[in-house]
């Protein structure tokens, strides 16, 4: 049970701000540029499996991955059925990324218990494996990766799934993740980037893009493990320069390529690049510029 993501992909949440037809155009453009995989999130926007089907239908070779689908949003049988349906319809083109999301999105928004997310994920994966699916199955069993940052979730990603998709992280974390998981499991970290060589502009855009994540304890706990502390995010909208520069690669395309290479050198199989902008426009120009150095 394996899945070839390719070396470089694109992660974006920008598509939800545009009509589906525009999102499909963007996916086709990524395919034409030569990117292997498009990652799409789930939070309070489009349903990710429906979106994946729409984007897969609009392309011929581009792979789609959920980064991530929230396990509290649907029961294990429903998730397994969605995964198997897409994997059968689009062989070797759909990767299921699952995660426990965050307390404010699970408890406050969805009204679910969030007391034991690790145990819930372990039980959820087991239930997926045992669920009934009385329809045509894909020729090969589909792969699953987990949103994993800490050692326990990384270990679960290596033993109960096929790998990990770390987010809001650094090449140093990629090295830690590879050490915890060992060789073999998929390791596909996300890397935020800003295409600007002006420090003030770049860090302003980066801070705005990071702000929502600096409210989430799961990410903050991981940043502490990486050597940061509360002084780096005393105000979630004013992250320190050292934190901004560690999480977001900014500068020329070549400088961004250097950061992506650092993830690969640290053990990543695949790096999905998320272009941050000051608006919610689809970053087609940036994807095009980066393709010249990343692909």
Find, among 167, 162, 198, the residue nearest to 181 by Cα: 162
Q: What pLDDT does 213 receive?
A: 94
- Measured between alpha carbons, how far is 143 from 269 in angstroms, rounded to an integer? 15
Tens-digit pLDDT profile for residues 190-247: 999 999 999 999 999 999 999 999 999 999 999 999 999 999 998 878 899 999 999 9
Q: What pLDDT does 114 receive?
A: 77
130 CB contacts (<8 Å, ≥6 apart)? Answer: none
- Measured between alpha carbons, how far is 4 from 189 in angstroms, rounded to an integer? 15
- Measured between alpha carbons, how far is 237 from 231 in angstroms, rounded to an integer? 13
Q: What pLDDT does 115 receive?
A: 77
3-state DSSP of the chain: CCCCCCCEEEECCHHHHCCHHHHHHHHHHHHHHCCCEEEECCCCCCCHHHHHHHHHHCCCCCEEEECCEECCCCCHHHHHHHHHHHHHHCCCCEEEEEECCCHHHHHHHCCCCCCCHHHHHHHHHHHHHHCCCCCCCCCCCCCEEECCCCHHHHHHHHHCCCEECCCCCCHHHHHHHHHHHCCCCEECCEEEEECCCCHHHHHHHHHHHHHHHHHCHHHHHHHHHCCCCHHHCCCCCCCCHHHHHHHEEECCHHHHHHHHHHHHHCCCCCEEEEECCCCCCCCHHHHHHHHHHHC
**Which residues in the chain come in under a pLDDT of 70?**
1, 103, 105-109, 111-112
Which residue is associated with the tokens 């150095």? 293
Which residue is associated with the tokens 């695949």? 270
Q: Where are the domains of the chain?
A: 8-294
- Measured between alpha carbons, how far is 142 from 80 in angstroms, rounded to an integer? 10
CATH number for the 8-294 domain, one of 3.40.640.10, 2.160.10.10, 3.20.20.30, 3.20.20.220? 3.20.20.30
């Amino acid at each position: 049970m394996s899945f070839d993501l390719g070396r470089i992909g694109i992660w974006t949440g920008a598509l939800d701000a545009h009509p589906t037809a525009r999102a499909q155009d963007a996916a086709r453009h990524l395919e034409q540029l030569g990117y292997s995989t498009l990652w799409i999130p789930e939070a309070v926007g489009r349903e990710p499996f429906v979106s994946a089907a729409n984007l897969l239908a609009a392309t011929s070779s581009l792979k789609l991955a959920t980064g991530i689908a929230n396990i509290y949003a649907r029961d294990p049988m429903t998730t397994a059925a969605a995964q198997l349906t897409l994997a059968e319809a689009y062989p070797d083109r759909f990767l299921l990324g699952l995660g426990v999301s965050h307390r404010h999105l699970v408890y406050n928004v969805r009204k679910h218990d969030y007391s034991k997310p690790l145990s819930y994920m372990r039980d959820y994966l087991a239930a997926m494996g045992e669920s009934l699916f009385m329809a045509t199955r894909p020729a090969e069993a589909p792969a699953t990766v987990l949103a994993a940052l800490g050692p326990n979730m990384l270990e679960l990603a290596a033993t109960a799934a096929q790998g990990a998709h770390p987010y809001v992280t650094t090449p140093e974390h990629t090295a830690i993740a590879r050490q915890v998981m060992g060789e073999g499991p998929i390791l596909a970290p996300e890397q935020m980037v800003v295409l600007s060589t002006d420090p003030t502009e770049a860090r302003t855009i980066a801070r705005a893009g990071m702000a929502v994540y600096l409210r989430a304890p799961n990410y903050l706990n991981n940043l502490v493990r990486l050597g940061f502390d509360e002084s780096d995010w005393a105000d979630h909208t004013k992250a320190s320069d050292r934190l901004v520069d560690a999480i977001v690669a900014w500068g020329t395309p070549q400088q961004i390529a250097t950061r992506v290479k650092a993830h690969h050198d640290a053990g990543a199989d695949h790096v999905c690049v998320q272009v941050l902008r000051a608006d919610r426009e689809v970053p087609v120009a940036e994807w095009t510029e980066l393709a010249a150095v990343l692909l």
